[in-house]
Structure 1
């Protein structure tokens, strides 16, 4: 029997909000820039930070896993976020999750490691522009000024009462990534657009 199932191309959680995000960016005169970065590969990695697997995985990814709380390590298109003493989030280009998981598992060998593809769990919002700090400050208790939360920093926190991971980009002018669960992405986008009205 022929397979009659139709497969639709993937649709990002914020596909319908793309126009509103672009409009807010235009009308703010560059004060804020809002956009979705859909489909980034995201792998949750758990392993013993002091074991041999940590070093082997780092070599396989051509970077060192961050060991300091709330820090970020970048190498090429890969970004690794420290989430806990034995937990990291590896973020890579769209579609790379399978290859990255294979590299991690091969490098770890017989060492205990947990690798979970969580790419579909979250989407990523880019919040940039000269007023990005001010915009996020409307709903985030963290001090996101570059003096306190500059390049190489990340944090699990709440923004507009939504659990997120905030990542300071490599250059303060590049703004922030805000990783949010897909089911809350629409709500958080509405909140950001509302909070951005004073800059529009």
Structure 2
């Protein structure tokens, strides 16, 4: 199989508003349209003073406390808002190109790229990783996204 999609259920997802600072949870803050990783978390740039912190399941309370102690202006648990899907395989970017206007050529969107965009008319957050992509899609669009992904992947599955 040259495309593999795996749901990563129950991921901790915290929206953080930050007035100033250069790091969260010991990880440098990413610049626009980027994400950084370390210490078991991914930090995604969502806007000029807004970040999304992703971590393994069940870390909401622990991370909220640490973030507030680090001076975050606001921390909101949005873990139930989005479904997280990891797409890997040699044709992962080709599948996404069927419905996404973002140029996923590695020279244009290298690992560490993070954008909010539309995929087949569905709002997503797209993270480009070394081994593929992570897609965050709103819970209410999860079934539509899964059906679209299955259809778009057909030509790449052996």
TM-score, normalized by length of structure 1?
A: 0.76
Q: What are the residue-to-residue correspondences of 1:34-45 with 2, within 5 Å?
A: 34-45=5-16
* 2:26–2:39 CA contact under 8 A, matched in 1: no
Distance 2:68 2:124 in 1: 27
> Over alpha carbons, which structure has the higher Rg?
1
Which of 119, 136, 143 is equivalent to 2:96? 136
Larger relative helix fraction: 1
Residue 43 of structure 2 corresponds to 80
Matched pairs, number:
157
1:119 match: secondary structure: coil
In the other structure, the counterpart of 1:190 is 147
Report the equivalent of 2:81.
121
1:145 positional shift: 1.5
Query: Unaligned stretches of 5+ in structure 2?
Result: none
- TM-score scaled to structure 2, two decimals? 0.95
Partner of 1:10: none
Q: Secondary structure at the match of 1:156?
A: strand
The two structures, once aligned, show a CA RMSD in angstroms of: 1.1
Spell out structure 1 runs of 4+ moving beyond 3 A: none
Question: Counterpart of 1:199?
Answer: 156
1:150 counterpart SS class: coil
Residue of structure 1 in register with 2:124 after alignment = 164
Unaligned stretches of 5+ residues in structure 1: 1-28
